[in-house]
A and B are shown apart, each in its own frame.
Chain A
Amino acid sequence: MIEHKILFSGTMGAGKTTAIAAVSEIGPLSTDVRNTDASVAKATTTVGLDYGELTLDNGERLRLYGTPGQSRFAFMWDILARGALGLVILIDNSRPDPLADLDVYLDGFADLIGRSACVVGIGRTETHASPDIDAHGRHMAARGVVCPVLPVDVRERAQVLQLLDLLLLQLESRSLSDLRA
């Protein structure tokens, strides 16, 4: 069986654990503990990793890994990025500076983004419309990163699957380009 490793990262509270749980066929594994950071209204936080699995229609299996969101766990980002085929970045648009948040993950996963594919999901846009999707796209383009950006509600399985579809389409297109080269 062909298996691919896909990584979910992004801000604390953006819904990485929820996104993996929404699509995983197995009971997702998580390493959530009680959150003591009073600046974030959240009961628990991931400190190690999340893990889930998803089988595609063609029989290939995705192994889905979630990272901790906070920069103090950047050592886990490096560990989990090894061997990953693509990256899903989740941004919480209700935070004070979502574009600065995006920079943290574009910088933290620059190597992975450079050698694979990336898709960005923006959460809570229904209550926090600014910056809008175009602003996120322009921000990434200004940094030389071109990848799909779309609003997402990670509680909805179909929307998380759409993120993964977009990621896999990029990888497929890249493979075809490599074959032609």
Chain B
Amino acid sequence: MNIPPHIHAVAQAAVDSLMREVKGVRAVVVSTEDGFEVTGRIENTAKVAQLSAVASSLAALGSLSGEESNLGACTSVTVEAAHGHVVMVQARHREVDLIVSVVAGRDAVIGQVLYFAKQAARTLAQA
């Protein structure tokens, strides 16, 4: 997997920004649509490589659900777990499709997490 350096730099900046600016975020991973890690930072026990692969499958299954339900293209998937949320947002770049995954604890405001994750995805799509 060869990610162009300028995309990698934007991805790293997006990860840093999400970790810094959004309260309650425990991990942020940017991965390719087929499940390879591009960059990430974690503060809990989440495993970057595994999260990348899981995000890839969930994003694809989310897309399939949207299509089969005639709801159109899926742009994000949110998982609510006992101790927090995982938000996965797709970033469609002309060279490589990416997924921004954010792991947030219960202390995070989910709307804020989603807003910043989508903003990061937009920035990545335009990199």
Interface residues of A (CB under 8 A from B): 29-38, 45, 47-49, 68, 70, 72-73, 75-76
Contact = CB atoms under 8 A, between A and B. Distances in A.
Contact of A72 (B53, B58, B64): B53
A48 B1 contact: no
Interface residues of B, number: 22
Nearest to B56: A47
B35 A47 contact: yes
Contact of A31 (B1, B2, B53, B61): B61
B126 interface: no
- Of the listed residues B50, B52, B57, B68, the one surrounded by the most CB atoms of chain A closer than 10 A to its CB is B57
Nearest to B2: A38
Contact of B57 (A34, A35, A37, A48): A48
B60 A48 contact: yes
A34 B56 CA distance: 11
B60 A33 contact: yes
Given A47-B33, A47-B35, A33 B53 contact: no
B34 A37 contact: yes
Contacts of A36: 1-2, 32-34, 36, 96
Nearest to B63: A31
A50 B110 CA distance: 32
Contacts of B64: 29-31, 48
Contact of B35 (A29, A38, A49, A73): A73
Given A36-B33, A37-B34, A48-B60, 9 more contacts: A31-B61, A36-B34, A36-B96, A47-B35, A47-B57, A48-B57, A72-B52, A72-B53, A73-B35
A47 B34 contact: yes
Interface string B88-127: 0000000011000000000000000000000000000000
Contacts of A70: 35
B54 interface: yes
Nearest to A29: B64
Given A34-B34, A47-B34, A48-B57, A72 B2 contact: no
Residue with the greatest number of chain A CB neighbours at <10 A, chosen from B49, B50, B53, B58:
B53
A29 B96 CA distance: 23
A45 B32 CA distance: 12
